[in-house]
C-alpha cells in the first residue's frame, strides 16, 4: 500500500499495469503452457493464449476496481468511517451478545428438534468451541504457540475409548480420567519445550502432534492401529442408557423412543463441557496463575525478575489446555462410537489454532464466534461444491484484513480500581513462545 494516498487515473493505471505484468509472469508458465504425456509417453505441450489473456485481463480490471474502492474509502488507518452512533450501538450489541448466544445455544435443541442435520452441526461447532477455548489458554493467554494441540484431543479420545471398551467403565469415570491423562501428556510435552521460544516451539509441538498420531497408528496391539477402536460405549444419563431397551430413558419416562433423544443429550453434554471450560478459564484469568500466564506472554524476562517460576507457569498452561483438549476428545469418542487416527491429523490442530487466532487471541467470546464462523461457515458454503474451499479461504483472508487482531480485538482487564477499560490489542503482545 502506498505511503501517501495517490490520486488520478494515471497512478491507478500504473498500479493495474504492474499487477497485470506480475500476473503475466506468474501465469505464463502455470496456465499459459499446458503439458501432457503423449500417447508414447513423450511430452506434448501447447500454448493457451486465450486463458492466459483472460486471467491477466481479470487482474488488470480487478486492480482498477480495488484502487477505485480504496480511494473511495479513503486511506487506511483512518477510523472515521464508523459514526459514533453506530459505535455505541455496537458496544450495546457487544454487551448482550454473549448472554444472547448462550440463551440461543440452550434453545437450539428445542428450535431445531426435528432437524438432525442442524443438531449434528451444532454439536460439531460446540466441540470446536471447547477445543478453541482449551487452546486459548495456551496460545491466547500464555502466548505459547502450540501447533500440536490435536495430540491432546487424540490422547483424550483414545483414553476414553480404551478405558471404556477394555474395562467397561462408565463415561462419567472415564471422562475425568481422559482429562487427567491428557494433562499429564501436556506436562510431558511441556518439559522438553520449555527452553524453546517462538518458531522453534511451534515446530516441536507440531512434531509432537505427529508423534502421537504415528504411535497410535503403529501400536496395533493397544490402539488397533489404522483400524481404530470400534464399539465405544455411548454415554448414559448417570447409568440410564438412552436407547430403545426396556430400561432406557424413554421407557422409564413412558414416552415414545426417538433417536433424537441421544443427540439432544449429546448436545447438552458438550454444551456443559464447553461452559465448564469457559468458566474455569475465566476464573483462572482472575487468579494469580492466570495473571502470570498473561504476564508471561507480555514479557518473560520481567516475570523472572518478579520471582515468577516461568517453568511451572508454562507447564500449568500446557496442562490446563491439554486437559480441556482431552475432555473434548473423550466427548468426540463417545459421540462417534468409533475413532481412528485419521481424525487426529495436523489439519485439526491448524483448524483449532485458526479459530483462536481468528477469534482474537485471549478472547473467550471471540473464540466462540470464530468457531461458529469457521465450522458453520464451512457448512454454509456447501452449496458451492467445488468452489467451497476457495470461497471459504477468501472469506478468511478478508476477515483477517478487516480485523487483523481477530474478531474481538481488545483485552478485558482482570482487576480494576474504578472502571474496567478495554485494552486495545495494539498494546497486547502475542507472546514469543
Partner 1 sequence: MSGEKILGVDQLTMRFGGIVAVHDLSFAAERRKITALIGPNGAGKTTVFNCITGFYRPTGGAIRLTHDDGKQIALERLNDFRIAKQAKVARTFQNIRLFPGMTALENLMVAQHNALMRASGFTFLGLIGVPTYRSAEVHAIELATEWLRRVNLLDRADDAAGNLAYGDQRRLEIARAMCTEPALLCLDEPAAGLNARESAALSELLLSIRDEKGTSILLIEHDMSVVMEISDHIVVMDHGVKIAEGSPREVRDDPKVIAAYLGTDEEEAMAVMESGS
The torsion angles phi and psi of 195, rounded to 5 degrees, stand at: -80, -10
Q: How far apart are CA 353 and CA 347, in angstroms?
A: 10
Residue placing its CB nearer to partner 1 in the complex, 30 or 415: 415
**Residue 280 Cβ vs partner 1, minimum distance, rounded to whole Å:** 7
**Residue 307 Cβ vs partner 1, minimum distance, rounded to whole Å:** 3
Residue 7, classed as helix, strand or coil, is coil
Residue 174 CB partners (closer than 8 Å, separation 6+): 159, 160, 163, 164, 330
Q: Are 365 and 97 in contact (CB under 8 A)?
A: yes
Residue placing its CB nearer to partner 1 in the complex, 63 or 320: 320
Residue placing its CB nearer to partner 1 in the complex, 90 or 422: 422
**Residue 331 Cβ vs partner 1, minimum distance, rounded to whole Å:** 22
The torsion angles phi and psi of 240, rounded to 5 degrees, stand at: -90, 115
Residue 305 contacts partner 1 per CB under 8 A = yes
Copy the grid coordinates of residue 376: 458453520
Residue 429 contacts partner 1 per CB under 8 A = yes
**Which position among 299, 345, 346, 396 is part of the footprint of partner 1 (CB under 8 A)?**
299
The CA R_g of the chain, rounded to the nearest whole Å, is 26
**Which position among 195, 309, 394, 398 is part of the footprint of partner 1 (CB under 8 A)?**
309
Give the CA distances from residue 89 to residues 7, 86, 289, in Å, rounded to whole numbers and listed in that order: 34, 5, 35
Residue 113: burial class (beta carbons within 10 Å; 0-12, 13-18, 19+): middle
Q: Are 370 and 359 in contact (CB under 8 A)?
A: yes
**Residue 322 Cβ vs partner 1, minimum distance, rounded to whole Å:** 16
**Which position among 298, 378, 395, 403 is part of the footprint of partner 1 (CB under 8 A)?**
298
Neighbours of 49 (CB within 10 A): 10
Residue 302 contacts partner 1 per CB under 8 A = yes
Residue 37 contacts partner 1 per CB under 8 A = no
Interface segment toward partner 1; rule CB under 8 A; list 97-105, 115-123, 298-306, 329-337: 298-306
Residue placing its CB nearer to partner 1 in the complex, 87 or 424: 424
**Which position among 11, 15, 165, 310 is part of the footprint of partner 1 (CB under 8 A)?**
310
Copy the grid coordinates of residue 44: 506434448
**Residue 363 Cβ vs partner 1, minimum distance, rounded to whole Å:** 13
Residue 195 contacts partner 1 per CB under 8 A = no
Residue 185: burial class (beta carbons within 10 Å; 0-12, 13-18, 19+): buried
Residue 413 contacts partner 1 per CB under 8 A = yes
Residue 395 contacts partner 1 per CB under 8 A = no
Interface segment toward partner 1; rule CB under 8 A; list 131-139, 171-179, 285-293, 384-392: 285-293
Give the CA distances from residue 295 to residues 226, 280, 303, 413, in Å, rounded to whole numbers and listed in that order: 42, 19, 7, 12
Residue 50 contacts partner 1 per CB under 8 A = no
Residue located via cell numbers 481479470 = 58
Residue placing its CB nearer to partner 1 in the complex, 243 or 298: 298
**Which position among 137, 308, 317, 328 is part of the footprint of partner 1 (CB under 8 A)?**
308
State the Cα angle at 157 between 155 and 159, rounded to 5°: 65
The torsion angles phi and psi of 234, rounded to 5 degrees, stand at: -75, 155
Q: How much helix, strand and coil, in percent to the nearest 5, is found in the chain?
A: 70, 5, 25
Residue 95 contacts partner 1 per CB under 8 A = no
**Residue 274 Cβ vs partner 1, minimum distance, rounded to whole Å:** 18
Residue placing its CB nearer to partner 1 in the complex, 252 or 421: 421
Binding site for partner 1 (CB under 8 A): 280, 283-284, 287-289, 291-292, 294-295, 297-299, 301-310, 316, 411, 413-421, 423-424, 427-429
Amino acid at each position: 500500500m502506498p505511503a501517501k494516498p495517490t490520486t488520478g487515473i494515471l497512478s491507478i493505471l500504473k498500479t493495474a499495469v504492474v499487477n497485470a505484468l506480475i500476473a503475466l509472469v506468474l501465469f505464463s508458465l502455470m496456465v499459459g503452457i499446458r503439458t501432457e504425456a503423449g500417447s508414447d509417453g513423450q511430452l506434448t505441450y501447447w500454448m493457451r493464449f486465450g486463458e492466459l489473456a483472460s486471467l491477466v485481463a481479470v487482474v488488470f480490471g480487478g486492480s482498477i476496481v480495488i484502487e477505485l474502492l480504496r480511494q473511495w474509502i479513503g486511506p487506511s488507518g483512518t477510523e472515521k468511517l464508523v459514526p459514533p452512533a453506530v459505535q455505541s450501538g455496537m458496544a450495546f450489541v457487544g454487551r448482550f451478545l454473549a448472554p444472547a448466544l448462550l440463551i440461543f445455544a440452550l434453545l437450539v435443541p428445542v428450535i431445531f428438534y426435528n432437524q438432525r442435520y442442524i443438531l449434528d452441526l451444532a454439536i460439531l461447532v460446540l466441540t470446536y468451541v471447547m477445543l478453541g477455548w482449551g487452546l486459548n489458554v495456551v496460545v491466547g493467554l500464555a502466548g505459547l504457540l502450540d501447533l500440536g494441540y490435536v495430540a491432546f484431543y487424540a490422547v483424550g479420545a483414545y483414553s476414553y475409548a480404551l478405558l471404556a471398551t477394555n474395562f467397561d467403565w462408565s463415561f462419567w469415570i472415564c471422562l475425568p480420567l481422559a482429562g487427567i491423562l491428557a494433562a499429564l501428556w501436556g506436562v510431558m510435552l511441556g518439559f522438553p519445550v520449555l527452553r524453546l521460544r517462538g518458531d522453534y516451539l511451534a515446530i516441536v509441538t507440531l512434531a509432537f502432534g505427529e508423534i502421537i498420531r504415528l504411535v497410535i497408528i503403529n501400536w496395533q496391539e493397544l490402539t488397533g492401529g489404522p483400524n481404530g477402536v470400534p464399539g465405544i460405549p455411548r454415554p448414559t444419563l448417570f447409568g440410564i442408557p438412552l436407547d430403545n431397551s426396556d430400561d432406557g430413558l424413554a421407557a422409564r419416562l413412558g414416552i415414545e423412543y426417538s433417536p433424537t433423544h441421544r443427540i439432544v443429550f449429546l448436545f447438552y453434554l458438550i454444551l456443559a463441557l464447553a461452559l465448564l471450560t469457559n468458566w474455569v478459564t475465566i476464573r483462572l484469568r482472575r487468579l494469580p496463575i492466570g495473571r502470570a500466564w498473561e504476564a508471561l506472554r507480555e514479557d518473560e524476562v520481567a516475570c523472572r525478575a518478579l520471582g515468577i517460576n516461568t517453568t511451572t507457569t508454562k507447564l500449568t498452561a500446557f496442562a490446563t489446555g491439554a486437559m480441556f483438549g482431552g475432555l473434548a476428545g473423550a466427548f468426540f469418542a463417545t459421540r462417534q462410537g468409533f475413532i481412528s487416527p485419521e481424525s487426529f491429523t495436523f489439519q485439526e490442530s491448524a483448524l483449532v489454532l485458526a479459530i483462536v487466532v481468528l477469534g482474537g487471541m485471549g478472547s473467550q467470546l471471540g473464540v466462540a464466534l470464530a468457531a461458529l464462523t469457521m465450522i458453520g461457515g464451512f457448512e454454509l458454503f456447501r452449496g458451492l461444491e467445488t468452489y467451497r474451499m476457495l470461497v471459504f479461504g477468501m472469506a478468511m483472508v478478508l476477515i483477517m484484513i478487516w480485523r487483523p487482531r481477530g474478531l474481538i480485538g481488545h483485552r478485558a482487564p482482570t482487576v480494576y480500581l474504578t472502571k474496567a477499560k478495554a485494552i486495545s490489542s495494539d498494546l497486547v503482545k502475542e507472546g514469543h513462545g
